[in-house]
Every structure is written in C-alpha cells, then in structure tokens.
Amino acid sequence: MEILNKTMYWISTGLMLPVVVILILLFLRALLALGGFYGAYLNRLKSTKAMHSYLEGLAGHGFEQEEIPNGPAAIWTYLGRLRQALHSPVNREKVLADFELEMSQQLALTKRMSKLGPVLGLMGTLIPMGPALVGLASGNIASMAENMQVAFSTTVVGLVVGAIGYLLTEIKQRWYAKDLSQLNYIADLITENHAKKEQ
C-alpha cells in the first residue's frame, strides 16, 4: 500500500509543472481573446448598422437587386453564398448549416477555456496541498506557506481564465444566434419570392 501511495504522490507532484505551464498559456490566450473580442465588437457595431440598411433595401428592391456589403463579418460571406444558391433550396439549407458549423468552431476555444480554466485551477490547488501538509507535519512552515501560495495562485488564475471564456462564449453565442436568425429570414424571403413567381 505504501508503494501505491508513493506512486500516486509522485504522479500528482509530477503533474504540477504541466498544470502551471498550461494555466499560464491559457491565461495569455484569454488575454488575446479579450483583445480580439474588442476588435470583433467594433466590427459588429458597423456590421449591425449595415445589416439594418441592407434589410430595409431588401424589402424594397428584393434580394437579386440589393447589393451585399463587404465587411469582415462572416454573415456577409454567407449572404453571398445564399445569393449563389438563389434557385436551389437544398443549397440554401447547406449554406445555413455551414454557417452554424463555422460559428460552433469559432466558439470552441472560449468554451474550452471556460471548462479547462477551473479544472486546471483546482488541480493546481490540490497538488501542492500534499507537500504543504508534509511541511506542516515536519514543522517546516516556510515550505507550507510556499505551497499554499502556489495553490491559491493557480485557483485565481484558473477562475479568471474560466470567467473570460464563459463571458466571451455567452456574448458570441447571442451574436451568432442573431446572425443565424437573419440568414434564416433572408432564406425564407427567397423561398417566398420564388413561390410567388411560380403562381
């Protein structure tokens, strides 16, 4: 039993370095994601105004006549693909499915951060507790304090990473749901126009 306990202790203490390194990398990635989110938010403001004007023009001129604006937002790319699939309901469905898939892939990173951050933070908290208790038992208060400092630091970093990932995921999910709703609306307008022409 003692051999098993020592083996488990070596494994857990050996995981400490990878956990800390991954947490630091995730924290840096979370900061980059925040910067990218700010840029995406500014683009979103421009895209929302352009989409409002586009939908107004669509109601007046129709999809074939209304020019699709250029911009960094993915919705404009998919609107162009909807125009190419103007006479094919199957292709329009494929365009909408592709949009959902791409948006899901774009959310994958922040979703992983929201889950991995707290998990790694908890691991980083529990792993140093063993050496800290050993230090307490042997009267080495300095060692115990050092291990406890590492434990609490990893918890905080993990929670920060998780919080950033969660907030970005929530906001982006609302953005993409709105974009998908608008694409569905435009696809339905195309179907309705074709039905009217056939009558």
What 3-state class would DSSP assign to 15? coil
Q: Report the C-alpha gap between 191 and 47 in whole angstroms.
A: 25
Give the domain ranges of the chain: 2-198
Digit-coded pLDDT (tens) for 125-143: 888 887 777 777 777 777 7
Determine contact, residues 110/165, Cβ cutoff 8 Å: yes
**pLDDT at 93 exceeding the cut of 70:** yes
HSE on the CB side for 53, CA within 13 Å? Answer: 8
Instruction: Give the tens place of pLDDT for each residue, 31-67.
Output: 999 999 998 888 888 888 888 777 777 766 666 555 7
Q: For all residues of the chain together, what is the average pLDDT? A: 84
Please list, residue by residue across 178-199, b when 16 or more beta carbons sit within 10 angstroms of its beta carbon and e when fewer do.
ebbebbeebbebbeeeeeeeee
Count Cα atoms within 13 angstroms, Cβ side, for 195: 7
Whole-angstrom distance between the N-terminal and C-terminal Cα of the chain?
Answer: 82
Average pLDDT in the 155-175 region?
94
The separation between CA 66 and the C-alpha centre of its own chain, rounded to angstroms, equals 33
pLDDT, position 194: 66
- Give the pLDDT of residue 17: 87
